[in-house]
Structure 1
């Protein structure tokens, strides 16, 4: 099954490499502009000037730091990904949104299989996360390694701030900003637009999936988490390839992000010595292998369901 045979005709009459060039160029410029808008509105929401706002992102954090992060990240992500995709489809590709974002409902059984596949893959991926976090650089790359580690530590502090919830309502806000917005926006860009165009350009679905996944992993600018993100991107890519329905990788992406939010909320309530930094700690290797095989089994059933639905 090929996602291009479904509801993604937006590039059929265009040079795919030219379309990819415009996509990357506009996406980078649009994201920079979106971050400026998000930061500007967050400055207004917190009542501080622009220079003082930078202090909100440095420890020690204040209550305003979290408000600033919620507003800035939520707005910049919505503008930079979801709104960008809608603009690109309508203005650059000159296609209707309906022809791209198909209206197929998420069927119950395939959706359950996607949830189980993603959860199983997360179990397997924990061992990759731990390995990637402990990569040691050779001496000639020590400077880069120190820079990457410092950035990782700073992002970890911001993540812990962003993932500490004082109430159920705040957890729902975080679930929207961390779970829903990235799931929708990033899948529209990386799978819906980029992967589809790369598949047309290269005539190779697997190559398109892995190139998109590598770009997806690199975009997050966290070297010590890049490999597990690439693998996740590949999983989302194959879900899109065999379903032809962008809502299935969106669901998988939401499960991956949303589960972390829920764990961060529930963990401190029921575990006395809960440590947010240990959430991604690797499970025993045999459990990781079981997770991988479970994912493959669930995904195989998902593929069969998608093939059967396509033949009806």
Structure 2
């Protein structure tokens, strides 16, 4: 028996313009208590979202051979297609029941991060796929900047503190398809895990299945209002804040039997800092009661590589 997550209030990002400190407090408190927040009025245009859903469903409906031709073996799933049953949660015994597509940041020729951030690959169809998802990537990026500004205020930092950290950041837009599952399927659609990045912005959580693990060890189901975005803390932000903002374990469970014949689609945007950003504990998050858990800083690139090995996307 799962509880619903009525405790997480849906916040309006539109309030940030008139009351930036008030919004920052409400958003930060939700992050500190749950590691998650629900955000309405996020600024991503609804027609763009609807176009992106249509493109996502059309792409995953393509023949398997056509999709697999866009799989880059040895690339760690950073760009393009990753087939069904490839990724596994850290410590899990069953692979995840999903296939996905990754869109990254477009870099100018000769960019200093070209070695760490691969160029995008694009399918020939559906028509307009590239234009749609580059536009959506930018819209997510803009919303993420606004939310990071609120986090900075909550932590007592300058509102633009994260700007240089995420300029040319290694963020990834993931298009996810969880196909229908058998009635007796032993796996969960996505095993219990934490995200690697700073924050994750998720569209598509209205379809049941997303659950988070609360501080009491109970799984709570998340069902945001239609059109709202679910935002959660990633491990990089948890490390940066010395666990003041916790990266909460979450999963996607198989639906009830009557919904197992339906696909589930979602679009998470994993907001990453630039590869050379040094993840070093914020001084304001260290005190006598909370000693520094991470005395040795690490670059975002090295941290990401460590974690991709753990989840099976990069082979040692």
Normalising by structure 1, we get a TM-score of: 0.29
Between structures 1 and 2, the one with greater helix share:
1
Which structure has more RCO (C-alpha within 8 Å, separation ≥ 6)? 1
Between structures 1 and 2, the one with greater strand share:
2
Please identify the structure whose Cα radius of gyration is greater. Answer: 1
